Structure 1
Amino acid sequence: MSYRPTILIVNDDGITAPGIANLIDAVIDLGEIIVVAPDSPQSGMGHAVTIGNTLRLERVHLFDELGIESYQCSGTPVDCVKMAQDVVLHRKPTICLSGINHGSNASINVIYSGTMSAAMEAAINGIPAAGFSLMDFKWDADFSVAKKVVRTIAEQMLSSRLPENFLVNVNIPRVPEAEFKGIKVCRQASAQWKENFEKRLDPRGNEYYWMTGKFVNNDMGDDTDLESLKQGYASVVPVKFDLTDEVVGSWIRRNWEVES
């Protein structure tokens, strides 16, 4: 009997999102697929975990006709990865694929992204992982290019001896297939969100705030994810979860350390 890898599929847009169905379609013949995803949209949850509330995990039948076992979880994307490993599989899957997210997770968005935090949780637990995002928020977005990118990267992940804690953030431009340039390995662009909070009144006259703002790219480098996406390439950024800043650390050691 030939070996079949186990592919865990998660997302943050919820188990009924078109993106997760397209991700499944892209890799359906590459191994045994298990789906564990939130029961409702969880965008922007970052690496949140459920601590003070109960967690519910329910077997659903959205992909039964494909022969795929799927579960919906009441928690966050990170909860989904934890429960997939500890409750559903009772073991580590071969790889974890997260997405396909509706909207970009390039640059600083990786910090806020539930899609990427799910992939990161897998990598923390020694499961090679990739998060995929399409730069199109529409529910009826065209995933043709995204599926090709997912397929290419998943095949590479399954056929390669990957480094420890392998994790990549993959973003796909919203372009027709004829205009898609290919895949580039990039660095994360330095950018940020400039927020405003509009004060508004609800129908009862009570004040509330609505966050608005714009995305500001402070990095004009031609080797960034934002620039590659602008040119029509899918960007692949290697990500790590050790947030130690050695440059600042060296400065602190020189200037702040005192022997007692």
Structure 2
Amino acid sequence: MAKAKQKEQPVILVTNDDGVTAPGIRNLVEAVKDLGKIVVVAPDKPQSGMGHAITIGQPLRLTSVQYFEGVEAYQCTGTPVDCVKLAVDKVLHRKPDLCISGINHGANHSINVIYSGTMSAAVEAAIESIPSIGFSLLDHSIEANFDGARKYARIIVQQMLKKKVDKHTVLNVNIPAVDESLIKGIRICRQAYAKYEEDFVERNDPNGRKYYWLTGEFVNFDKGRDTDVWALENNYVSLVPVQFDLTNYVLKDKLQKMWKF
């Protein structure tokens, strides 16, 4: 009797913006390493706040590293988006079944999704028709406790692998920085209208030349109970489906009726 054909493992690309040696990416690999063939391609240094930047004026280097036991891994001199592009073209030579980015040290809720290298890597994957998820923990500390983040990252990745989703799916997942036992579950949310009220502190360097240091306070203008900010403040994991099509379709329809050219 012929043996049943063994199901091929899904290929999962793992990246981040905090750098290949960051605790967050190590915890993400640990959370999912038995769910498929894991390949890591991540920046060789922190790239937080890079957004969707790509490298076009200088060469990129890709180096094999042994930071994750039993996992093929590379560090890249470029941005998180560069990492995804190079992974598909030069490492995997195919599109992975899933791309996961993170676990970021710090929040990527509300407006942060625009600036985030973590989320831009995930969005780039979706542009390339690869379903993707960005994970962030609301703790910037290098000693952050990732127990809850690992647990919920695994649950969500399992759902993505189990259920057939659109190839352009991007999920923005944030995990509250509380003990795992205090996390109430997962909320599917919308992005809150919240942003930083920014200020530049002006100082002088030792040579008397002025420089500026960006500071700011995060302000939530959105009182809805269906937002990512509300969910996180109430100890839920927030899950926001996002998209790279920035068209305002409501305004588009209005302008077509109002403006005549």
> Would you say same fold, with TM above 0.5?
yes
**Structure 2 partner of 1:123:** 126
Map of 1:189-228 to 2, 5 A cutoff? 189-228=192-231
Query: What residue identity is the alignment partner of 1:8?
Result: L
Tell me whether 1:67 sits opposite 2:74 in the alignment.
no
Letter in 2 for 1:5: P
Q: Which amino acid aligns with 1:29?
A: D
Residue identity opposite 2:48 in structure 1: S
Question: Could you tell me how far apart the structure 1 residues matched to 2:32 and 2:22 are?
Answer: 17
In structure 2, give the amino acid aligned to 1:91.
R
Deviation at 1:252, TM superposition (A): 2.0
Equivalent residue for 1:109? 112
2:52 alignment partner, SS class: coil
For residues 106 and 236 of structure 1, the distance between their equivalents in structure 2, rounded to whole angstroms, comes to 9
Q: Distance in 2 between matches of 1:243 and 1:221?
A: 22
Q: 1:254 Cα deviation (Å)? A: 2.4
Alignment-mate amino acid for residue 8 of structure 2 = Y
Q: CA deviation at 1:209?
A: 0.8
Q: Which of the numbers 61, 77, 92 marks the counterpart of 1:56?
A: 61
- Are 1:175 and 2:178 an aligned pair? yes
Q: Does 1:38 align with 2:50?
A: no
Residue aligning to 1:81: 84
Q: Output the CA distance in 2 between the equivalents of 1:151 and 1:74.
A: 28
CA distance in 2, matches of 1:6, 1:91: 10
The SS at the match of 1:257 is coil
Match of residue 257 from structure 1: 260
Distance in 1 (CA, whole Å) between partners of 2:255 and 2:198 is 31
Which stretches of structure 1, 4 residues or more, deviate above 3 A after TM superposition?
A: none
Query: For the residues of structure 1 that align with 2:181 and 2:36, how far apart are their CA atoms?
Result: 29
- What displacement does 1:257 show? 2.7
- 2: CA distance between counterparts of 1:251 and 1:218? 26
2:3 maps to none
Say which is worse superposed, 138-147 or 196-205, in terms of deviation: 196-205
Q: Distance in 2 between matches of 1:159 and 1:4?
A: 12
Q: What root-mean-square deviation, in Å, do the aligned CA atoms of Structure 1 and Structure 2 show?
A: 0.8
1:248 to 245, 248, 251: 251
* 2:234 corresponds to 1:231: yes
The separation in 2 between residues aligned to 1:90 and 1:240, in whole angstroms, is 25
Question: How far is 1:243 from its partner?
Answer: 0.2
Which amino acid counterpart does residue 144 of structure 1 have in structure 2?
A: D
TM-score normalised by the chain length of structure 1: 0.97
Unaligned runs of 5+ in 2: 1-5
| Cα separation, 2, equivalents of 1:108 and 1:118 | 16
Give, in whole Å, the separation in 2 of the partners of 1:71 and 1:163.
Answer: 28
CA–CA separation in structure 2 for the residues paired with 1:235 and 1:39? 29
Alpha-carbon distance between aligned partners in 1 of 2:167 and 2:34, rounded to the nearest angstrom = 25
Q: 1:199-237: per-residue Cα shift (whole Å, max 9, x none)?
A: 110111111111111111110000000000111000000
1:19 paired residue among 15, 24, 31: 24
Deviations along 1:15-41, one digit per CA (max 9) or x if unpaired, are 000000000000010111000000000
- Residue 151 of structure 1 is matched in structure 2 by 154
Letter in 2 for 1:95: L
The TM-score, its normalising length taken from structure 2, stands at: 0.96
**Alpha-carbon distance between aligned partners in 1 of 2:219 and 2:243, rounded to the nearest angstrom:** 23
Q: Give the superposition deviation at 1:77.
A: 0.2
